[in-house]
């Protein structure tokens, strides 16, 4: 492990230079990796594993759209693609990449398929940490491990293809074999992580749920909408409001932050922008701090997971979800966004 200074706090990280893909192959050479779920993380992790020289098998509901997607990606029914229970029986490492609600629904069946010494792998701490709600309580004679990429499945795959990898956290919840940590790190490297940093199942799920509802998605979407609506209220055109709210952020400024940090982005903007940002950032921080306190408490106490499980398990969930997403898609703000994107040079060819 390498000790890296994160703002004055030194943390251990593991890179692919320290724990090579060749070492990962050696550690996992006698394992059968079964990936349950070919929806969000499943395709990315499966394809990255395959491209790195492993031979994962897929467990998916036979005949559904995700089953067909697996076939289109080169997995073969009866050879590398199986119904969920059959794949779980074949695996020595069972990667639980079904949705959180899907894990709850299939857990009784999956649990029966686990054998002594198997590893049960998660990319999210949800099912284990909130076991009172999910009922996911693993047997004592297996390893229970986690590798959580810090990005969507789409970016796990994109970053692998472009050679950058995506950072992942890792944790061991239960070490029955004495090999749990080695298995975990090997899998983290095998799925193409840029680097790995240690966490716990609890910390992973608390930070992940907070981040999704906060800066990464919920807060970002809400703040964008508020600024767009404000500009429109004051007579700015949809094009101007969208460009000043979203396009400049995603196509310019956030890339500068990614390259060298927020201070570097500020330093590479106009002095007028610098001054305004430096003056207003603390005011936004202080305004939303109480909301983030409420959010974290809601995550930690299980209120958020209760909401997720109830909503996602409803028989009409997908219909309601489509309606919610269509409301966003059909709003003036995101119709303006579609028009702006269509005018990008690469989309005019």
Chain segment 200-226, per-residue pLDDT in tens: 999 999 999 999 999 999 999 999 999
Q: What is the pLDDT of residues 307-345, one digit of tens each?
A: 998 998 888 998 999 999 999 999 999 999 999 999 988
Residue 231 and residue 196 in contact, taking contact as beta carbons nearer than 8 Å: no
Domains of the chain: 2-199 (3.40.50.720), 211-347 (1.10.1040.10)
Q: Say which of 49, 56, 87, 124 is annotated catalytic.
A: 124
Q: What is the pLDDT of residues 244-277, one digit of tens each?
A: 999 999 999 998 998 899 999 999 889 999 999 9
Given this model, what pLDDT does residue 151 score? 86
Closest Cα partner for 165 from 257, 44, 249? 44
Q: How far apart are CA 263 and CA 138, in angstroms?
A: 46
Given this model, what pLDDT does residue 33 score? 98
124 has catalytic annotation: yes
Given this model, what pLDDT does residue 104 score? 93
Given this model, what pLDDT does residue 348 score? 72
3-state helix/strand/coil string of 100-125: HHHHHHHHHHHHHHCCCCCEEEECCC
Q: How far apart are CA 70 and CA 112, in angstroms?
A: 25
Tens of pLDDT along the chain (349 residues) come to 677 777 788 888 899 889 999 999 999 999 999 999 999 899 999 999 999 999 999 999 998 999 999 999 999 999 999 999 999 999 999 999 999 889 999 999 999 999 999 999 999 999 999 999 999 999 999 999 999 999 889 999 999 999 888 899 999 999 999 999 999 999 999 999 989 999 999 999 999 999 999 999 999 999 999 999 999 999 999 999 999 999 999 999 998 998 899 999 999 889 999 999 999 999 999 999 999 999 999 999 999 999 998 998 888 998 999 999 999 999 999 999 999 999 988 887 6
Closest Cα partner for 333 from 253, 270, 245? 245
Given this model, what pLDDT does residue 11 score? 82
């Amino acid at each position: 492990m390498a000790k890296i200074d994160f703002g004055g706090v030194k943390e251990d990280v593991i890179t692919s230079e320290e724990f090579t893909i060749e070492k990962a192959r050696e550690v996992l050479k006698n394992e059968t990796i079964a990936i349950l779920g070919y929806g969000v993380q499943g395709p990315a992790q499966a394809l990255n594993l395959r491209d790195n020289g492993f031979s994962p098998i897929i467990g998916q509901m036979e005949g559904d759209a995700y089953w067909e997607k697996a076939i289109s990606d080169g997995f073969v029914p009866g050879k590398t693609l199986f119904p969920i229970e059959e794949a779980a029986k074949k695996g020595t490492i069972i990667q639980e990449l079904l949705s959180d609600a899907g894990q709850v629904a299939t857990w009784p069946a999956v649990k029966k398929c686990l054998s002594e010494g198997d590893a049960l792998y998660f990319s999210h701490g949800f099912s284990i940490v909130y076991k009172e709600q999910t009922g996911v309580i693993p047997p004592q004679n297996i390893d229970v491990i986690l590798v959580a990429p810090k990005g969507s499945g789409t970016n796990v795959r994109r970053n692998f293809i472009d050679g950058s990898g995506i950072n992942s956290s890792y944790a061991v919840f239960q070490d029955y074999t004495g090999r749990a940590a080695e298995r975990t790190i090997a899998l983290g490297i095998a799925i193409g992580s840029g680097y790995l940093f240690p966490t716990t199942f609890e910390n992973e799920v608390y930070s992940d749920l907070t981040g999704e509802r906060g800066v990464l998605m919920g807060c970002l979407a809400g703040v964008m909408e508020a600024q767009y609506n404000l500009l429109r209220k004051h007579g700015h055109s949809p094009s101007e409001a969208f460009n000043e709210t979203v396009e400049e952020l995603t196509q310019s400024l956030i890339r500068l932050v990614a390259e060298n940090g927020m201070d570097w982005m500020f330093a590479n903007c106009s002095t007028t922008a610098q001054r305004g940002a430096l003056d207003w950032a603390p005011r936004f921080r202080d305004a939303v701090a109480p909301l983030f306190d409420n959010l974290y408490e809601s995550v930690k106490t299980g209120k958020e997971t209760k909401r997720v499980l109830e909503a996602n398990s409803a028989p009409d969930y997908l219909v309601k979800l489509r309606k919610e997403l269509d409301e966003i898609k059909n709003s003036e703000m995101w119709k303006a966004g579609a028009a702006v994107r269509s005018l990008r040079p690469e989309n005019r060819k």
